[in-house]
Structure formats: structure tokens, C-alpha cells
Chains A and B, each alone.
Chain A
């Protein structure tokens, strides 16, 4: 299984929705505290003994905290940058004309970016200035600003079935469900007693959300009955940084944590932990499951490595 060594500390990894062997990695220097950042676009080769090739790399003045692929154009990537800007890159254009757009509206670091998989024309950015902003590729300014959280919004994720619904996870310990057509949030889930670092929708059940928190647990909620979680997944030793539902298996979700492990869970089963990978030697902060290839997952961490492996295999095996 190939490994890619990035020069900076990894922050996020996302598979391309168009090419099954392509992924983008967001990295930041000095653990993201201070310094430059780089956005890598990598290509896996069919021969497993060859290393991962780097298709392009874009440098930024501040760390890149998250990356998102466009669902409408196969060569457009969105970078969430720590200086508060949201930058658009086009791989098809020469590097001198990149980034093609830089939206500077957030007043603090932009922590996540997510592209609408249903409408395919808009994307969200969530920031430490307590807001979530909605953008389209053609407008120079944001379309909407959602300001209700009382603390940093760590993640904003579109619902995979409903074009206008998204969820946001924040450091004020709540998760809010929003409808773009409504003026404010439509639901407030008091998800944890500590900061909620990530959330994700179930790809097969549009009402199920998973949340990951500083309290080392993952909780799965059904928005129709959100007082009590559907299940609570314990097993991580430290805060859980990212959670992703599998696009292929209904009940499977993957999470990565500051305990340097990536865990795969089945939340409908009593003994939920399916597998655990501890290939990272630093905080594991980014994880993704490929939509095009069943079982393929990628993870990155502050140890500057990007691993891509098939579920059930050892990520460090050659």
C-alpha cells in the first residue's frame, strides 16, 4: 500500500469524485500554528509497488485546513485556508493562473469546506468566527452567512439526499441542522458535553448524523428523535477529530482521532468496533472513504504521511 510523505503536517484528505485514483491533501506547516500551507493533488498508480505520484501542489501563505473537490468540474478543488480565505484551484490551468479565486470574507480561520453533492453548484465553508458561509463558483461574494453558533464551527456537511439541508458542528457543543431556505437553523442537537469536532450524514439514511467530539466518543443521532443518540461509540483514547460514513455500507463509519488511530465502526452492532489501524505516529486528523472504489480509505496526520489502503488490509504493508 503506498505512502506519500508531505513536507508539511497533514490536515485533511479527500478522494476525487471523478477519478478513482486521485486524492487531494491539505497540509500546513508547523502543525498549522504558523507558517505556510500546501495543497497536494496525488495520483495512485495501478502498480502497488510504485509510490504515489504528485500531480500538482499549490502553496499558500497560511496553512490549509481542509480541501473539497468540486462535484461539477473534475479539476476544481476548494481549499479552506487558515488566513480566513477560501481559495479555488483548477488543475487544468497552468500553475501561474492558480488560484483562480480567493474569497476573503471570514474573519478567522476557515476550518472546513464541503461541496453540495446534490445541487452541485454551491459549497459551504465553516470558520472559527462562528459562521458558516454558502458560496457558488461564479459569484465573487458569499450567498448566505449563517451565524448562530456561539463558538468555532468546526465542520459543515451537506445532506447527501436533500439539496438544501446541511449540518454544522461547533465548539459550543451543539450540532445544528440548517435549511438554506430558512432564515435560521431548524434543529439544534445538544450532541455532547464538550466541543463537537466533526459531523457527517449517513449516505443511506438521510436522517442519521454521526458526531465526533473532544469527549473521545462518537454519537450517532436520528434527527427525528434527537434527544437520545442511536448509539454511542467509545473506544478512542483521545478526542475524535473526524468522522465519515461509508458510501458503500449502510452502517459503517470511519473515524480518526488524536490517539493516532483510525477506527472503523458498525453502529448497529453491539460490539461496534470493526477494525482499528494505528499506522500513524502522530495525531491522525484526516480520513476519507472513496465513493468510487468500495473499501478504499485514506488517512493523513501530523506525522506528514498520507496512507491509502483497502479496508481489511494493513496500511503499512507494501
Chain B
């Protein structure tokens, strides 16, 4: 890179671009001309993409100051160019500055040698000036000459050393005195204390027995207290388990109701379309159950930071980005890499895929013929949703049908969307607790929290993390009715934080 830029002779390109700029100035600003002349014209069209402005002298001056700075002299040429380019200088201005500042773009080797010499001399001079200011008392004869400068430094060293030794001795003497004054008496008193204690111990032996009895009594009391506490704790545990069981039963019952709803819906659809496909309904209900279990079992809440994502579909122990980076830096290799043999595995993989595709085609042929006739002639992606609606309308209109129709997704693997029911909040408002425990009508309330949570999400236009498929949103209902803060559908942790604050 350093070799490319200087050898390019500046004058021919400058004249070229000057000519180009002259042609441009009247015609280049005109879009239409450029567009019309586009086919196979070499003269003025491409000059739109060239700087047509003259050199800015002050930019060149600034660049010259920059290049003349001693620190900049030590840096590689490419960094200097890059810095100037970042500041917005054009190539011509940069070249001009390099040309004007003598010796500013040397080759790499000579720059190295020059650097060392320059740095040494500059550092020497700096040291000298500093030392002079610090030591005004030194004789004036030690001035500019380098020989006397060295002598200056040597004497300097000696006096420095003497002062340091003196300080050390003084501090040593001081600490010795302090030790003698304060610590020795402490030692003596401590020794006396020990002697006295030994005498006292003999007296105390007689009092041992009654104290033992007292201690035993105290121990018994504390044991009893501990047992009482343990009993209380076990009671609390049992109570909480009972509560958990209650919640679980409620959730399961709601799940069952949902399943029933889905089944009824599929039945209705079957009736409408007049098709009997038992396989699809069974697989969808199975999927629902699987999803339900997954949602309930995973206690961990999905956090927003990408490195912490969990991907159970990919292998035994899927690693996050940070884990893989750490492994690589330690020198280990992640275990799922295969040393690559192009021919073998490609052929097997594509064969497998082709057979899969063929299989799918055969299965879906019958469906296709029956469905396509009823549908529009255009494929689905060509249906234009013309009006670009705002975010609010989008979410609201899509929220309800999306949750209702989610069972019809015959995806090969369920998309990882994890929603966990929030942990029951501490009972701040007893009426709220009552409301939770009362059984609710399922159909209405399920749809309502969907809409409400989605509507609230649409309120906040920034950082919308959508909570998908809320199965049982007792927490969400609470949030919408109780909390005064506009509860955008954020992570469950934040919901709980809001409850705690209230």
C-alpha cells in the first residue's frame, strides 16, 4: 500500500481530472444528461463519480500541520493517509499535502531508521530540560554542552542517592523509636494479662459445674427453637407446593380447553372444505401438547442479549457466541466441525435432500390440486398488501389471527418461541390475589389479554420484543389492569420488577 500511492505521478492524473472537471461543471450536475449519455460514452458521464471541486487550501494547510507533527512522523504512511481520508480530504488534497511537507512520505525502511535517530535526540533534549528545571541550585556551568550534561547527570545521581539514603535512615530511626515507645509496653501488659489469666482460671474451675448445667439448658432451648423453625419451614414448603399444584392444575385445565377449541376449529374447517385429513389434526394436537409442556417446563426466561440464546435443536450442547469465542482463544476447537471431504458428503447430503423433496411432492400433490383450484391464480407471495400500514394496525390486526391459527403450521421443527408464565408476584394487593385464584371464563379472557398485550406493545415504538402465544396470562392481565406504567410487552423479568416496585 505504501508503495502504491507515492509512485503514481500526480501531474498526469491531476490534469486528467481537471479536464474532467471542466467538462463536468456545466453538464455533470445535470442528471438527465448523464442518464442519456450512458450507453458507451467515455467523456463526461463517469465524471459524476469524481471530485469536481478544486483543492481546498485550508484543508491542505491542516494536513500539512498534521503531517509535520513529530508524533505523526513515526506512524506508518497508510495510517496518515487513512486519517486524512476520514477527515474528508480528497485524494488530490492529500497528495498535495504529502508533496508539500518534505520527507513526509518516506519508504518504510528509511522511516524506521530516521525514527530511531529522531526519537533518541528528542528524548535526550527533553530529559535535559526537565532536569534543569528541577535542580536550579546546581552550578550554572553545567549548561548546554553534552559532556557537561553527562557530568551533570552523574552528580545528579549521587546527590539523589545521598538524599534517599538519608531519608531511609531517618525513617528507620523513627520507626525504631516508635516501636520502643509504644509496642514494648503493650507487650509487657499482654504478658501480665496472661499471667493474671492463669491465676484466674484456677478460681474459675469451681464455677464450672453450674455453668455447664446452664449451657446444657441453653443448648436444649436452642435445639428446640431450631426444631420449631424447621417445622415452620416444612409447613411453608408444603403450602407452596400445594399452591404450585393448584396453578399447575389450572394451567393443565386451560391447556385442555385450548386443545378442545383447536379440535373444534379443525372440525369446522374440515366441514367447510370437505376434506378429511386425520394426520394433520393429530399432528397439530400433538404439537400443541409438546409446545405446552415446553413452555411450562423451561423455567428460565429468554433474555434479550444474543449471546445467551439456547438452541436445543442443534446438537447435544449448543454453545453461545461467547463460549465459542472463548474456546477458540484457548486453542480448542468446537466439536461439531468435520474435516472436509468435498465429494462424499455433498453427494449424500444432496441426494438425501432430493429424495426428501420428491417425497414431499408426492404427498402434497393431491392437496395441491384440490387447493389451488379454489385459491387465486397468483402464488401467495405475489399478493400485494398494498397499503403500508403503521406498526399499531399491523400488530393488532395480525395479533389475533396469528395466535388462533398457529396450530396450522406444519413446520418440520417448531420454531423456538418460549413464553414462561411469570412467577406469582408477592401479594401486594389482596384483591389481586383473589382475582388470580378465581377461575376465569376461558374464551373471552384469553383473547382479551392477547389484544391488550399486543396493543400495549404497539404503544411503545422502540424496542418491541413481542411476547408470542401467551397461553395463560394471569400476569399479563394483572399488568394491564393494575400497573399505571404503560406495560409494553417486554421481558417477564421487567414485569416482575414493576410489581415489586408497586
Contact = CB atoms under 8 A, between A and B. Distances in A.
A66 to B, nearest CB: 19
Contact of A5 (B86, B91, B313, B336): B313
Contacts of B360: 50, 53
Main secondary structure of the interface of A (DSSP, over half): loop
A91 to B, nearest CB: 10
A139 to B, nearest CB: 22
Interface string B218-243: 00000000000000000000000000
Given A31-B321, A190-B88, A281-B309, A274 B382 contact: no
Given A165-B46, A187-B51, A56 B353 contact: yes
A34 B398 contact: no
Contacts of A105: none
A316 B112 CA distance: 59
Contacts of B356: 54
A312 B45 contact: no
Contact of B333 (A34, A186, A224, A295): A34
Interface string A152-168: 00000000011011000
B388 A172 contact: no
A30 B336 contact: yes
A318 B469 CA distance: 14
A188 B90 contact: yes
Q: From A34, A184, A302, name the one whose CB has the most chain B CB atoms within 10 angstroms.
A: A34
A3 interface: yes
Nearest to A274: B388
A290 to B, nearest CB: 8
Contact of B385 (A161, A207, A283, A295): A295
Contacts of A310: 381, 383-385
A216 interface: no
Interface stretch (B115-123, B204-212, B411-419, B421-429): B411-419
- Classify chain B's interface size: 35 or more
Nearest to A190: B88
Contacts of B381: 20-21, 44, 48, 293, 296, 308, 310
Contacts of A188: 85, 89-91
B411 A54 contact: no
Given A30-B336, A47-B368, A60-B340, A172 B398 contact: no
Interface in A22-50: 29-31, 33-36, 44, 46-50
Contacts, number: 223
A235 B48 CA distance: 31
A178 B367 CA distance: 53
B394 interface: yes
Contacts of B340: 36, 59-61
Interface of B: 1, 4, 8, 28-29, 31, 34-35, 38, 45-46, 48-51, 78-79, 81-82, 85-91, 302, 306, 309, 311, 313-314, 319, 321, 324-325, 328, 333-334, 336-338, 340, 342-343, 345-347, 349-351, 353, 356-357, 360, 364, 367-368, 371-372, 379-389, 391, 394, 398, 401-402, 405-406, 408-413, 415-416, 462-466, 468
Interface of A: 3, 5, 7, 20-21, 29-31, 33-36, 44, 46-51, 53-61, 94-96, 98-99, 130, 147-148, 150-151, 161-162, 164-165, 172-174, 177, 179, 181, 183-188, 190, 193, 205-207, 223-224, 227, 235, 237, 258-260, 274-276, 278, 281-283, 293-296, 302-305, 308, 310-314, 316-318
